[in-house]
Structure 1
Amino acid sequence: MKLRDMVLTSLFMAIGLVLHQITPPLVAGMKPNFLLAMLFVALFINPAPKNALLAGMVGGIFAALTTSFPGGQVPNIADQIITAQVVALLIRHGRGVSPRIFVPLISLAGTSLSGTVFLLVAMMVTGTLPAAFPVLFTTVVLPTAAINAVVTGILYGLVMATGKVARKV
């Protein structure tokens, strides 16, 4: 992997961390997970397995450092690494599909996967969840996935437009 790719991925993850920290809750305490959104943008730009591993590890560490979920450090690291690998695989196999449809769809699926893995690992690590799995999935994971789908689509469009401008200069 080229140093340029590693720096770009790390930059996206750092931006995601800052946005994640400063974003207030939007609906019923839920907010877009900008770490995941920027992870997905980094993977859309470079879906190589090594980049997915790097982005997943960095995202997992950042999420673990900022989690408010009791015992959420290990689940955050696990879910980010797994999600990054699965999403990168989906992106590599979905090339050629319109980004207007593909980016939000992959973000929706990726965020749903991330939330599912997080809840399952949290249940294994802590032995319990604050509420039943189906309740947390339908009230937190699915709405967050919907918000993330929109946010990732917007961020990806901005990054691609910025890249086009930068190449012209």
Structure 2
Amino acid sequence: MEKNMNVKKMILNAILIAIGALLHQITPALGLPMQPDFSLSMLFIIILINGNYKTTLISSIIIGVFAALTTKFPGGQLPNIIDKIITGQVIYFLFKAIGSRVSDNIKILIALSIGTIVSGLLFLGSASILAGLPGSFTALVTVVVLPAVFMNVILGSILYKAIRVSLKASGVLVVK
């Protein structure tokens, strides 16, 4: 029975990663060679649903690679991989620190807001070192990262609620 549940979780993770990659591919740039990164929403949902380090690390790497393949930022391939791997770890340990003191609905809001900021800062920081930025770091945080936080919180919340409802209805996972 445990093996069957692991296969279901792996399939669920693969579907969520694919949806995240698709959203990342079709999301337009915001007037700059940058875009909000909705694949982060899926990464945070995967981390919350699974709650284990191995899945976090593997999902972070895979989502980083897909984000690198679909980036619209010149030279943004390596910065995408760096930011996803580190951001995944930050959110995993944040969830562990929070524990069960807050509901999963609050955890996902915390992850979507803090995680998107961390990811954006890591991406811009590594891109500035590796590829250069098309503007000042501060301006890009204001023009790209902060709107991405707003959009990720809204979209990610909707996606999380939809996924929770479908998981609950299908009985695939016991959702708190």
Q: TM-score, normalised by structure 2?
A: 0.85
Q: Deviations over 1:110-144 (max 9, x none)?
A: 01000000011111112x21000000001100110
- Structure 1 residue runs of 5 or longer lacking an equivalent are none
- Structure 2 residue runs of 5 or longer lacking an equivalent are none
1:55 to 51, 56, 59: 59
How much identity, in percent, do the aligned residues show? Answer: 41
The corresponding residue for 2:122 is 117
Residue identity matched to 2:123: F
Q: Deviations over 1:14-34 (max 9, x none)?
A: 111112223456x76786522
The corresponding residue for 1:10 is 14
The number of residues matched between the two structures is 166
**Residues in 1 aligned to 2:26 and 2:137: alpha-carbon distance in whole angstroms:** 28
Residue identity matched to 2:81: I
**Residues in 2 aligned to 1:153 and 1:103: alpha-carbon distance in whole angstroms:** 7
The corresponding residue for 2:145 is 141
Residue identity matched to 1:67: T
**Residues in 1 aligned to 2:112 and 2:154: alpha-carbon distance in whole angstroms:** 8
Across the aligned residues of Structure 1 and Structure 2, the Cα RMSD in angstroms comes to: 2.1
**Residues in 2 aligned to 1:16 and 1:91: alpha-carbon distance in whole angstroms:** 21
**Residues in 2 aligned to 1:50 and 1:34: alpha-carbon distance in whole angstroms:** 22
Pair 1:106 & 2:111 matched: yes
